[in-house]
Structure 1
Amino acid sequence: MDTHNATVAAISSKVSAFHASSTPFRIYHGSTLSTRTSSRQKSRIIDTSSLNHVLRFNTADKTVLVEPNVPMDALVDATMPHGLVPKVVMELPNITVGGGFAGTSGESSSFRHGLFDRGIRGIEIVLGNGDVVWAARDNEHRELFFACAGSCGSLGVITLVEMELMDAKPWVELEYHAVQSIDEAVQLCAQSAKDPSIEYIDGIMYSLTKGVIMTGRLRADASPHPIRSFDKPSDPWLYIDAEEILNNLLTSPPSQSPRPPTFKQSIPLKPYLFRYDRGVFWSGLRAFTYFLTPFNALTRYLLDPFMRSRTMIHALHRSGLASQALIQDLAVPFDKTDEFIRWTDQKTGLWPLWLCPVRKAPRGEESFSMGGMTGGTGSGNFDEELLMDVGIWGMGPKNPTSFIALNRAFERKITDLNGLKCLYAHAYYTEEEFWGIYDKEKYDGLREKYHAVGLPSVYEKVKVDLKGVAGPRENRQRESWGEWVVRTFWQTWPLGGLYGVASATKGLLVESDFLLK
């Protein structure tokens, strides 16, 4: 803890100096898996990149003190020897503890445990005036603790997290259930959520009439099911393997059972937790399409080093293609899921879609972007205990105006359905629209109380720069000639993609993450 305390003291001192001189600043974490672009000025940066250690276990209490820049795979490697694992583990191994807390992160255990931030007991945070406080669920800084979850680091500099863990077992028995409608998928998720033996639920819809819901149980051994893993270059990508299983289930002879047949596999726990890493769900398919490369088992094997999330996110940013990617997670009430997915199909035709049931937090304890601080529209005032997160990932229209119009249509639709979007991705709201959803008066009050006005606001962190694009009149800005030339370069096939691959290749060789100094 001595090294940690010294680092925090240095951060506190620098923040205090910024506060004394009324200098705005940003936080530099070292790397990112956010799809948003980064805006940094080195002279106004608080560098927290060295806060990347697992510090102390309390095995009796099943908790761990961990610094915010510890990635998920390193955290799992540290906890499993103690027979423990985080309650919610994000599916991409380079998502960090701090990113999961300050952003919005859910996974297949979220139907039981809620979003990632629900497993956090307390945070050490450097306030905007340099003071260091401990904010927790049950102390005098309770309102700060809950407001920080999902607020994108806009209320202070988080330097330490106390996280709850649960008992781990070596294997996950994963059961695949075929579904032939959105309503059937939703009903199966709701039914499975009531089974106390099930620890994990998520699903993939390949079309309106074809999908698979996957339920997982922790097991001490693998028998009697076939063993599968998803982390080796020779392994299949999960969504491809799941579709093959689904096709077999749908063509199986009718059984005497009133329930449709299912299929079970045994998967080692860590490969299960990061089963979507290779190919980043199915986004890797877009890279093969972009470069006109055959998509088969051999090419996936040969190009495997480029198909891991660390490398793919690096390439996505460096290529400039992030500005053309439709990357959204949107939470809707269960009874609105069918309507929303049908609307999505009509608007985009993008498949597959990810389904992940999420348990909402108790009233007053919601994270910022998933129900907390709701404002005038009433979005997020859910009565249901469970919400359905729908993951939509693919390439949008190449025309910038059409691309923004599509994203804004998603935002309007999700508001109409009394849902909310995750703020880890691009947000196209005008400032008036954004603060019509979230409670600006309460948020600004906390920013003033905890001296956070020197940090960018959450809206400033998530909004898209609409410069040069015929977006909403409130956001429209004039683009310089030089900016137009740069933007045109990135949008010209295959220049941006080639640059992204070259940058990612360099990153592989020097073992660097995107945004590392």
Structure 2
Amino acid sequence: MEAHQEAVAHISSQIFSFHQKQVPFRLYHGSTNSTQSRKIDPERMVDTSQLNHVLKIDDKSKTCLVEPNVPMDRLVDAVMPYGLVPPVVMEFPGITVGGGFAGTAGESSGFKYGFFDSTVNWIEIVLATGEIVTASPTEHSDLFYAAAGTFGTLGVTVLLELQLIDAKQYVELTYQPTSSIKETLAALKAACEAETNDYVDGIMLAKDRGVIISGKLTDEVASRTRTQRFARATDPWHYIHADRITRGSLEAVKEATPLRDYLFRYDRGAFWTGRYAFKYFLVPFNRITRYLLDYFMHTRVMYHALHASGHAKKYMIQDLLLPKASAEKFIEYVSNEFDFWPLWLCPFQPKQELALHPRHDDIRKEEKGDSLYVNIGVWGPGSTTYSRFVEQNRLLESKVCELGGVKWLYAQQYYTEDEFDSIYDREW
């Protein structure tokens, strides 16, 4: 803790100095999972990249003390030897604890535990004045709930206590094929309502074909249940495997996957966006080429390439959160407007007010008692004409707002200031 305290004191001193001079500054984390391109001026920068340690694991209270730049894979590897795992683990290994907290991140356990920030007990945060504050649901609670999802704009989070749950060796997966958007969303809701499920997400492979993937933590694999891995170069990409084993049938398929492989199952290929790189470089997209180019198809490498190439201004990479009641209309819109597949479906039951207090219409009331939201991942090539590309993104933003949803702000944004204020509660 002594090294942590020294690092925080240095950060506090830097921020105090910037505040005294009224100089705006940016944070440098050393890595990013945002698609936004940002230039960092070394003279106007606070470097938090060294806050990357798991400081304490308490297997009795099932908690751990973690600095913000600890990535998901290192966090999982630190706590699993204790028989524990975070309740919510983001699907890309390089997403950090601080990024998950500041960006309202989540994953396929979100229907059960909410967003990642709902699993944080308390934070240590450096305010704009340089003051170091501890915030929790009972201490500086307004700051604690406000800091989640506001992208570091209210302060620099430097330490977090995370909740943990009991881990198991495997996740028993059920792949349930579906044949329409409506059926897929109904199956998604049913899987969330099954009390035995620990993980639920879905892939809309085409307008008339989807698959809902539900998972249960287990230490025992039935004798006739096949074990499937996803982490090795010789393993299939997860979405390709889900497509292959459910094609041409409406029968559910059961398999078991090692827990760590499951948590980062979308790392290789970044869901399915990696296939666009093959198309761009005119490389055949098959099992052999995926094996040979495996190093370049992991998300840490792909994010570097995304920023270096400028392709963030050519590809739509947007995650949109819709009330389940309007999700079907939104998917129909994406189908008609863009017609690229697959789409990712990830259900959430928020445990508290959504970050930044959006003023969205409460369309959930159309389905009494249904508080389920669906994150829809819309990732694919946009127009090659930049003005049209911007227009496409603005139309997407407008449709989300119309249907009572919000978008994740890690991505490129095209709102005017007035539009942003019409969605989010600036006064709050």
Instruction: Sort the Cα spacing of 1:105 and 1:184 in 2 relative to 1 into closer, same or farther, 3 A.
Output: same
**Aligned ranges 1:255-274 → 2 under 5 Å:** 261-274=251-264
> Any conservation in 2 of the 1:72–1:94 contact (CA below 8 Å)?
yes
Structure 1 residue 60 corresponds to structure 2 residue 60: yes
Match of 2:222 in 1: 223
Deviations 1:234-274 (A, max 9, x none): 10001111111111534xxxxxxxxxx21111100000000
Which has the larger Rg?
A: 1
For the pair 1:395 / 2:381, whether they are aligned, the reply is yes
Which structure is richer in relative contact order (CA contacts within 8 A, separation 6 or more)? 1
Quote the residue 2:337 is aligned against: 347
The CA distance in 1 between the partners of 2:351 and 2:426, in whole Å, is 21
Report what 1:22 is aligned to.
22
Determine whether 1:366 maps to 2:365.
Answer: no
- Alignment correspondent of 1:323: 313
Question: Structure 2 CA distance, aligned partners of 1:366 and 1:397?
Answer: 31
Quote how far apart the aligned CAs of 1:374 are.
2.6
| Alpha-carbon distance in structure 1 between the residues aligned to 2:426 and 2:271 | 35
Matches within 5 A, 1:79-98: 79-98=79-98
> Is the alpha carbon distance of 1:117 and 1:382 closer, same or farther for their aligned partners in structure 2, counting shifts above 3 Å?
farther
Aligned to 1:112: 112
- Structure 1 gap ranges (5+): 251-260, 443-517
Say if 1:331 and 1:419, in contact at 8 Å, map to a contact too: yes
| Structure 2 unmatched runs, 5+ | none
Find the aligned partners of 1:382 and 1:142 in 2 and give their Cα distance.
27
Structure 1 residues 25-174: aligned runs within 5 Å: 25-139=25-139, 141-174=140-173
Q: How much has 1:77 moved relative to structure 2?
A: 0.1
Q: Decide whether the 8 Å contact of 2:92 with 2:266 is kept in 1.
A: yes
* Whole-angstrom CA distance in 1 between matches of 2:387 and 2:104: 27
- Separation of aligned partners in 1, 2:415 and 2:147: 21
Counterparts of 2:123 and 2:28, CA distance in 1: 18
Contact 1:326 1:396 in 2 (8 A): yes
The letter of the residue matching 1:154 is T
In 2: Cα distance, 1:316 partner to 1:19 partner: 33
Bigger Cα displacement from structure 2, 332-341 vs 78-87: 332-341
- The 10-residue stretch of structure 1 (343-352 or 184-193) with the greater mean CA deviation from structure 2: 184-193
For the pair 1:189 / 2:188, whether they are aligned, the reply is yes
Identity %: 48
Query: What is the SS of the residue equivalent to 1:441?
Result: coil
Closer, same or farther: CA 380–155 of 1 in aligned 2, 3 Å: farther
Alignment pair present for 1:385 and 2:371:
yes
Per-residue deviation, residues 490-516 of structure 1 (Å, max 9, x unmatched): xxxxxxxxxxxxxxxxxxxxxxxxxxx
Q: Which of 422, 428, 432 is matched with 2:408 structurally?
A: 422
Query: Quick check: 217-226 or 168-177, which moved more?
Result: 217-226
Q: What TM-score, normalized to structure 2?
A: 0.97
RMSD (CA atoms): 1.2
Q: CA–CA distance in 2 between the matches of 1:205 and 1:177?
A: 12
| Alignment-mate amino acid for residue 299 of structure 1 | T
> What SS class does the counterpart of residue 158 from structure 2 fall into?
strand
Secondary structure at 1:385's aligned position in 2? coil
Deviation by residue 1:212-249 (Cα, 9 ceiling, x = unmatched): 00000001123331010001001000111111111153
**Stretches of 4+ moved more than 2 A in 1?**
221-224, 365-368, 378-384
Give the equivalent residue in structure 2 for 1:469: none
Q: Cα deviation per residue 1:390-428 (whole Å; 9 max; x = unaligned)?
A: 001111101011101110001110111011111111111
Aligned pair count? Answer: 423
> Which residue identity does 1:356 align to in structure 2?
C
Assess if the C-alpha contact under 8 Å between 1:67 and 1:97 holds in 2. yes
Q: Deviations over 1:51-77 (max 9, x none)?
A: 000001121111111000000000000
What's 1:204 paired with? Answer: 203
Determine helix, strand or coil for the equivalent of 1:318: helix
Number of the residue aligned with 2:303: 313
What is the rounded CA distance, in whole Å, between the counterparts of 2:425 and 2:378 in structure 1? Answer: 27
The residue matched to 1:223 in structure 2 has which SS? coil
Query: Could you say what secondary structure the match of 1:265 adopts?
Result: strand
Which deviates more from structure 2 when the two are superposed, residues 11-20 or residues 380-389?
380-389
Q: 1:441-460 residue pairs with structure 2 within 5 A?
A: 441-442=427-428
Q: Deviations over 1:289-312 (max 9, x none)?
A: 000100110000000000000111
